[in-house]
Structure 1
Amino acid sequence: MAGGAMAGGGDSFRALLRAANALLQQRRYHAALAVIKGFRNGAVYGAKIRAPHALVMTFLFKSGSFREKLKSIAQATYAHSRNLACFVFTYKGLLAAQSRLQGKKIPFHSFLAACIGGWLVFGDNNPINSQIIMYLLSRILFGLSRLAVEKGYIPQPKQDPFPLLAALVWGTVLWLFEYHKETLQPSLQSSMTYLYEDSEVWHDVSDFLVYNKRTDSNKAAFLFALC
């Protein structure tokens, strides 16, 4: 009897799976289904990107208990995943709506849909959104520069301009760090403090080579290892 019930359940599941697969093949539902899958991909990609970054930055630079650090990582990962999923959902939904209303897709549709999505989803000025926007801004500047050369708006450089760009970027960011640190993003401040300020301070071999900063616990551990 139990075996028959299990077999019946298996048949129902297979029938449901066949119905779902048939629905996914329907071209008339493609736009709506693409919006749903876009939400899924945004959530997964956001988690994949944020989790490793949050893990490294939290354990390198944040204080607090192990549980507090794990909570911070989970919150950052969730926020990035949620925002990216909501943005993709909004963008693709607005794109499909515009195409349906005008009967075709034009380049301005992408710009308008992304503007609205960016305002609604990423308009809150918080650390997660700030990092995402700055990441995109750097890519935009590179992309627009290449497009300007491709379209002939600016001449093709005779030499690779990247060395000059690298010099200007590093010169500017270190000048800002040394004299206007508060203008930089907190995570960048933390990284640069570790690299350029903490390397100016030490007391003995323990915090010169083994640890970044001397504390009673790591000093005791270092002395114990020498014994």
Structure 2
Amino acid sequence: MVTLFGSGTVQQRWKKIITATRQHAVRLAKFVAIYKTSLLILRDLFHEGKQHSVDPFIAGMLGGWYMFGDRTPVNEQIVLYCVSRCIAALLPRAKVPKDYPKNRVLPIDSTAHQLFAALTWGAVMWLFVNERRRLNGGLVNSMDYLYVLSDKWDSLRNFLWHNV
């Protein structure tokens, strides 16, 4: 997205991408360390060597607070990605054959997915038109390019990749 809709020279855009990638990787690594250490502490200090069902939640909260609690563009993207995956996990699942592998994720029911997609895109387009200041900056930039700036073009150059 930085390459397509970001500002600056190509070199500046690549620097942003590398910086964001490094920040993402380091934060995830530190999160894993906090999460796993928290699980061990909870298990050994409070549960006599057995993990309780609430332990992953508590450990995840601790790691999330410390590693993704600062509001940066990278942290925001990671948190929003996780939220979308959690919401999708609540959608009804499709019926699968009896021989469906036990270790494979159950697919989302097609009708549930269609409704979810319709509600999501209806909401995001309403927000973009009526409450755009509430949306993520990167999302607004890409949506501006696609839905606003694309109305004004005089050649293929600015219609396809450089809309000014």
Q: TM-score range by the shorter chain?
A: 0.7 to 0.9
1:61 aligns with 2:5: yes
Q: CA, structure 1 residues 144+167, in 2 after alignment: closer, same or farther (shift >3 Å)?
A: closer
The amino acid of 2:163's aligned partner reads K
How many residue pairs are counted as aligned between the two chains? Answer: 147
SS at match of 1:105: coil
CA contact (8 A) 2:132 2:140 kept: yes
The residue aligned with 1:172 is 123
Distance 1:163 1:186 in 2: 26
The residue aligned with 1:213 is 163
Q: In structure 1, which of residues 92, 113, 125 is the aligned counterpart of residue 71 of structure 2?
A: 125
Unaligned runs of 5+ in 1: 1-56, 148-157, 215-227
TM-aligned CA deviation for residue 82 of structure 1: 0.8
CA contact (8 A) 1:198 1:212 kept: no
Distance 2:65 2:23 in 1: 16
The residue aligned with 2:96 is none
1:70 aligns with 2:21: no
Q: 1 or 2 for the larger relative contact order (CA 8 Å, sep ≥6)?
A: 2
1:144 aligns with 2:95: no
SS at match of 2:55: helix
CA contact (8 A) 2:91 2:112 kept: no
- So what's the TM-score if we normalise by structure 2? 0.79
Which one has a bigger Cα radius of gyration? 1
RMSD value over aligned CA atoms?
2.2
- So what's the TM-score if we normalise by structure 1? 0.59
CA contact (8 A) 1:122 1:129 kept: yes
Distance 2:78 2:157 in 1: 37
The amino acid of 1:188's aligned partner reads L
Greater percentage in helix = 1
The residue aligned with 2:140 is 189
1:115 aligns with 2:66: no
The amino acid of 2:131's aligned partner reads H
CA contact (8 A) 2:34 2:63 kept: yes
TM-aligned CA deviation for residue 205 of structure 1: 5.2
CA contact (8 A) 1:98 1:105 kept: yes
Runs of 4+ in 1 over 3 A off after TM superposition: 144-147, 204-208
Q: In structure 1, which of residues 100, 105, 122 is the aligned counterpart of residue 44 of structure 2?
A: 100
Percent identical among aligned pairs is 38
TM-aligned CA deviation for residue 114 of structure 1: 0.7
